[in-house]
Structure 1
Amino acid sequence: MKLTPKQKKFADEYIKTGNATQSAIEAGYSKRTAAVIATENLIKPNIKSYIEKCMADIASNRVMSYTEAVELLTSIARGEEKETVVVATPVSVEKVEKEADLKTRINALKEILKRYPNNDKLVEQQIRKLSVEADIAETKLEEMRGGGDNQDNTLHSIAESLEVIDETDN
């Protein structure tokens, strides 16, 4: 069902101001009946869905999507994104377009890698370290419950593994 021109004007004004009564007046409804008409209009399914659709469009245009963010980071990391910098020369001041410096490009790469944790070696090492620490905690718990010498040997070998992982982190 299509909106009448008055209903569309009401909905557009309501989206701008959030004031239903004032929007009804701006749309051309009588001041005397504006509050009642506004309440009725906000209940009508076709007007309600039009307002919701417009609000969703506004929100999606204002917020960067995940894909847009990764694309921007990628263009920075590749040096495709340029920035304007002011450079002083002995004669004057000039504006120059330059690509991002190496530090900025590396930070962009790190941000991209955070979104793909399976490709990050540091994350893998941290997971291995946490796994070993969990094994140590389990062994200590079993030992406290009355374990024997075999568990001491296991604990010692796990501790050595943890030291090897710590050395690869550094």
Structure 2
Amino acid sequence: MSSITQKLTQKQQRFVDEYIISGNATQAAIKAGYSKKTARFVGAENLTKPNIKVELEKRNAEIKSQKTMDMQEVMERLAAIARGETVEQQVTNKGTVVEIEPKTSDQIRAMELIGKRYGAWTDKKEVTGGLEINVGVGDWDADD
């Protein structure tokens, strides 16, 4: 069995979990249950182990995937705003929270962004003919 496919020990899994949170190998090692005396060494060593590196890469990819939107999700949210299907929470002067529908200006902006995505409202100007400008050396005086 190669070291890359080896399953992580419980301590190694806790190390990965803590390292994802803090980004600090020494602190992650301590919180995972390694000795404080050896935590710096163990933390650095763990980051070089192929099975831990693979797990960290996998977990970071999952986190990145959850934090980013793909174009489908962006378009769905814009469409929901444009249709007035979303609500915003707003605090009143009395301190209560009320839900309000999107403003017309927000709906129009969402529609504009959708339109841009599909190439609507693109100003295209056809230019015919030619324009020729000839400037030769000595044709102008910098002191004028």
| Aligned partner of 1:14 among 19, 23, 40 | 19
CA RMSD of aligned residues (A): 2.7
- Equivalent in 26, 29, 33 of residue 24 of structure 1: 29
Q: How does 1:81-120 map to 2 (within 5 A)?
A: 81-84=86-89, 97-117=99-119, 120=120
Q: Which moved more, 1:96-105 or 1:41-50?
A: 96-105
Change in CA separation of 1:105 and 1:46 when aligned onto 2, cut-off 3 Å: same
Higher relative contact order (CA 8 A, sep 6+): 2
Of 46, 63, 66, the match for 2:68: 63
Q: By how many angstroms is 1:56 displaced?
A: 2.0
Residues of 2 paired with 1:14 and 1:102: CA distance? 45
Kindly provide the amino acid, as one letter, of the partner of residue 112 in structure 2. Answer: K
**TM-score, reference length from structure 1:** 0.63
Structure number having the greater helix percentage: 1
Q: Deviations over 1:119-147 (max 9, x none)?
A: x1x31xx23x1x41xx44xx223x85xxx
User: Whole-Å Cα distance in 1 between the matches of residues 45 and 90 of structure 2?
Assistant: 55
C-alpha distance in 1 between matches for 2:30 and 2:55: 19
AA partner of residue 106 (structure 1): I
The aligned counterpart of 2:45 is 40
Code of the aligned partner of 1:16: I
Tell me which structure has the larger Cα radius of gyration: 1
Q: Which runs of 5+ in 1 are unaligned?
A: 145-170
Aligned to 1:79: 84
Unaligned runs of 5+ in 2: 1-5, 135-144
State the Cα distance separating 1:38 from its structure 2 match: 1.6
Query: Comparing 94-103 with 38-47, which one deviates more in the overlay?
Result: 94-103
Deviation at 1:48, TM superposition (A): 0.8
